[in-house]
Amino acid sequence: MSTLDGRVVVVTGAAGPAGVAACTALRTAGATVVAVGHSPARLAALADRLPGLVVETADLSDRDAVDALAARIRGGQGRVDGLIHLVGGWRGGDSFGANTEADWQFLSASLIDTLRHTTLAFHDDLVRAPAGRVAIVSARAAAKPSAGSANYAAAKAAAEAWMSALADSFRTSTSGSEDGAAAVIFVIKALVTDQMRAESPGRRFPGFTDVGDLADRIVELWEADAAELNGARITLDS
């Protein structure tokens, strides 16, 4: 029996580099994985690689679309044990004045609104689950922004604040019990994949986090006590 047999984990941003690694590790650990993304073609390619993967297309910046998604998953899979929120996107420039309104609209939709919508939609399912888990991947920049990354850093900082509020809700909803729910923030400098290494053989990627290592940490969320994990900000950059 695998660690995650019988559990249903929703991975949002599933077709991105971290999402592909997370879906693969969660499937290998025995979970039923619902892979959510924008592009049907990228999701179909992922489903071809991972037998048994459930795929769902949705614009997660649209609250009604997320509520409809949650209803479909409840109807189809019957439960939700995890929400691994890996929706990304980056915009920035080389000066403070380069933080444009258009970039803020993009980043607040992809990094904040998608998190608000999915956690609000799945909150009660995760509280009901025997060990509900929610995780996001934040960036060093949230705590140490550069001038040109103000939009990005502010959006990531807001996402972190939202996760802290979710952790507070889990603390009171599940009384900090060992098998209660937990909300966790992973913090990285940047991600690296095998493809990136192959494309730049001379580059060392210092401080980068391999998507495989991140995926392993995601699977391990179900091995730790909720009371210890809930509200944690776990730095993965080396």
Ligand X SMILES: NC(=O)c1ccc[n+]([C@@H]2O[C@H](COP(=O)([O-])OP(=O)(O)OC[C@H]3O[C@@H](n4cnc5c(N)ncnc54)[C@H](OP(=O)(O)O)[C@@H]3O)[C@@H](O)[C@H]2O)c1
Judged by CB under 6 A, the residue of 35, 188, 218, 221 near ligand X is: 188
Whether 18 is catalytic: no
- Using rule CB under 6 A, residue 61 touches ligand X: yes
Task: Tell me which stretch binds ligand X (CB under 6 A): 94-102, 164-172, 184-192, 225-233.
Answer: 184-192
Judged by CB under 6 A, the residue of 7, 10, 11, 13 near ligand X is: 13
DSSP-assigned states of every residue in the chain = --TTTT-EEEEETTTSHHHHHHHHHHHHTT-EEEEEES-HHHHHHHHHHSTT-EEEE--TT-HHHHHHHHHHHHHHHS---EEEE--------SSGGG--HHHHHHHIIIIIIHHHHHHHHHHHHHHHSTT-EEEEEEEGGGTS--GGGHHHHHHHHHHHHHHHHHHHHHHHHSTT-TTS-EEEEEEES-EE-HHHHHH-TT---TT-EEHHHHHHHHHHGGGS-HHHHTT-EEE---
Question: Considering the complex, what minimum distance in angstroms separates the CB of residue 55 from ligand X?
Answer: 11
Candidates 152, 186, 208, 222; catalytic one: 152
Question: Considering the complex, what minimum distance in angstroms separates the CB of residue 189 from ligand X?
Answer: 7
Number of residues that bind ligand X (CB under 6 A): 24
For β-strands 233-235 and 182-188, DSSP reports them as parallel
On the 0-12 / 13-18 / 19+ scale of CB atoms within 10 A, 175 is: exposed
Judged by CB under 6 A, the residue of 6, 45, 59, 194 near ligand X is: 59
- Using rule CB under 6 A, residue 110 touches ligand X: yes
Task: Tell me which stretch binds ligand X (CB under 6 A): 2-10, 81-89, 163-171, 229-237.
Answer: 81-89
- Using rule CB under 6 A, residue 176 touches ligand X: no
Q: Kindly tell me which of 65 and 127 has the beta carbon lying closer to ligand X.
A: 65
Judged by CB under 6 A, the residue of 11, 60, 157, 185 near ligand X is: 60
- Using rule CB under 6 A, residue 17 touches ligand X: yes
Helix axes 150-173, 114-128, angle to 10 degrees: 20
Tokens found for residue 31 = 């979970």
Q: Kindly tell me which of 1 and 204 has the beta carbon lying closer to ligand X.
A: 204
How far is Cα 232 from Cα 41, in angstroms, rounded to an integer?
35
Q: Kindly tell me which of 30 and 88 has the beta carbon lying closer to ligand X.
A: 88
- Using rule CB under 6 A, residue 89 touches ligand X: yes
Residues 129-168 contacting ligand X, CB under 6 A: 137, 139
The catalytic residues are: 152
Binding site for ligand X (CB under 6 A): 13, 15-19, 37-39, 42, 59-61, 86-89, 110, 114, 137, 139, 188, 190-191
